[in-house]
Structure 1
Amino acid sequence: MSKTYRDPIQTRIERPQRLAAVVRTGLLDTPPEPSLDQLTALAAQRLGVPATFISLVDRDRDFYKSHFGFGEPLNSVRQLEGRTFCHYAIGSDQPLVIDDTTRDPVYRDVPTVTTLGVRSYLGVPLVMEDGEVIGSFCAIDFEPRHWRSEDVATMVELAQATMREIRLRVGQAEG
């Protein structure tokens, strides 16, 4: 009797407790919000990158609650289906730092490397108080880039500000 291979990334994405935490935020399929858009704009400015975003990782898609620098159609659609870097980023409570996506055997086959031209990625997990990772605060560049420790620190700080905003909304919805 052979064992069926189960993709560990997909298993992590589909954990019922994690998915419930994503839904509990009440943010899926909601319009952009100025307070979060200010954070993604600030991240792009501080890091000097073309695109930043706040991603909520649902079962079959990444929903972009906020973004800065997306072109069409992603600007309007605000979601991607299939494997993304955010799926890898939610696997830890530490930032995922990729200087050159095409040189890394794990990440070079992520579809957005070819479809969007993503060459470098920095993603900080968004962690709820119960420890569930709901998504990530991300920056990308279309060129290889060495992410400095200051870049990572800035993104961690902005991810923490994002989580304060999300917790405020969850608290208001529950109260």
Structure 2
Amino acid sequence: MTPRRLLLTPEDKDAPARAGRLRGLGLGERPEPEFDAFADRLAAVAAVPYAMVNFVGEHRQFFAGLHQPGDRPLTAVLDREDGFREPVRHLGREYGFCPHVVVRRKALVLEDVQDYPRFAGNPAVDELGVRSYLGAPLVDSTGIALGTVCAVDLAPRPWGRAGLETIKALAAELTERIAQREYRV
């Protein structure tokens, strides 16, 4: 018997359907002020330096909403020709924990990712310095998990039951906003 290799990026059989649904909703391709404001609010509520509204496609994840400190960006920052600096808002599916939340369709609380062998070797840990994560799926009316809302810190965090309930409530709120958008499209 050959030993099973630990799968760092989960198999995602729903990815093609999710990508089609995201395209139909016009989500996951561009930053949106509404989602940036939501990420700002999440960062304030969770008292974290990083928060995202993340849509997970077939090959990448896109932060349609992003809160990160200007002096310590989690994602790369590009210098534009007009002198402004703009964060890169996408990562491969192998980065981070949101792809796991989307596939599991359940919230994920990692107070210290180093405590979980499945997650400790993730590139987000080694390359970006992520140490704690709190995320919940955005499951739409068709039952598809479109992405996540998540809070991230570079230090371990005792999220506890209150953190879990907060992230789930915020995910439900944003899911409702996305449903309302669908009727306006």
For 1:32, the equivalent position in structure 2 comes to 32
For 1:163, the equivalent position in structure 2 comes to 175
For 2:142, the equivalent position in structure 1 comes to 130
For 1:18, the equivalent position in structure 2 comes to 18
2:76 to 73, 78, 101: 73
Matched-pair identity in %: 28
Secondary structure of the residue that 1:123 maps to in structure 2?
strand
Q: Deviations over 1:57-116 (max 9, x none)?
A: 011111000011151525521111141311111123321111111121110111110111
For 2:103, the equivalent position in structure 1 comes to 91
1:143 partnered with 2:142: no
- Find the aligned partners of 1:22 and 1:9 in 2 and give their Cα distance: 20
Indicate how the Cα distance of structure 1 residues 82 and 91 shifts in structure 2: closer, same or farther if over 3 A, else same.
Answer: closer
- Find the aligned partners of 2:107 and 2:135 in 1 and give their Cα distance: 6
Indicate how the Cα distance of structure 1 residues 13 and 87 shifts in structure 2: closer, same or farther if over 3 A, else same.
Answer: farther
CA RMSD of aligned residues (A): 2.0
- Find the aligned partners of 1:156 and 1:150 in 2 and give their Cα distance: 10
**Alpha carbons 2:125, 2:131 under 8 Å: kept:** yes
Larger helix percent: 1
Structure 1 length as normaliser, TM-score?
0.86
Pick which of 96-105 and 163-172 moved more. 163-172
Tell me by how many angstroms 1:13 deviates: 5.2
Indicate how the Cα distance of structure 1 residues 146 and 50 shifts in structure 2: closer, same or farther if over 3 A, else same.
Answer: same
Secondary structure of the residue that 2:164 maps to in structure 1?
helix
